[in-house]
Amino acid sequence: MVENFKQDARRWIVPGQINTDAPLTFWTILKLLYRYLPLRAMAWFRLGSWLKQRGVPFFPGYIQRRIYRHYGLEIQVGADIGPGLYIAHPIGTVVAPRRIGRNCSIIAAVTIGMRNEWKFPEIGDNVFIGAGARVLGGITVADGAVIGANAVVINDVPTGVTVVGIPARPVRSRETPRATSDEQLRAELTLTS
């Protein structure tokens, strides 16, 4: 629990960036907790998950309700969520995954949950989920994927692929080289429109 929370806190040293080498002192953590409401929500989530894993009754449910009431974040206490979770704006965000990997970034008003049946998404490492996105059903979002703002993801997303739209469709892969001139950029934008 403590190590997972330390990785969560490191994401707030420079908000949103992955900084696994940053030294964390007790005073640094206190300062970050004072400054960033979302990090306080993560501290409660990690504590609730730790208590749930140890079979402590009552408190995990109480903590889950507290997170919802105080931070507007509906997160499943005890969910398999790796270290380095960064939720920039927790109000209106729902996080109910089968699993989330390391260093996932969730921006604002995101829903991660079930669709038509009792199946939940599995999200890999280093995934970015933009504001207002919906990731629904028993799908897999692979490592390094980027989900654009307001996208509705109902199909699997391969490694390193950016998806946008309703329903979400791929627009770029990290393996795809970026345009080098204005004309190439215009041509690429025309193809994805």
In the numeric block, the tokens 């960033």 are attached to 36
Q: Which residues are catalytic?
A: 89
Model confidence, pTM:
0.84
Total structural domains within the chain: 2
In sequence order, the β-bridge partners of residue 147 are 129, 163
Same domain membership, residue 143 and residue 68: no
pLDDT digits (tens, 9 = 90+) for 49-91: 999 999 999 999 999 999 999 999 999 999 999 999 999 999 9
Q: Residue 118 falls within a domain, yes or no? A: yes
Same domain membership, residue 55 and residue 104: no
Q: Under DSSP, is residue 70 helix (H, G, I), strand (E, B) or coil?
A: helix
**Residue 172: exposure state from Cβ atoms within 10 A (0-12, 13-18, ≥19):** middle
**Residue 104 CB neighbour total at 10 angstroms:** 25
Q: In CATH, what number is assigned to the domain containing residue 134?
A: 2.160.10.10
Domain that holds residue 110: 96-174+186-193
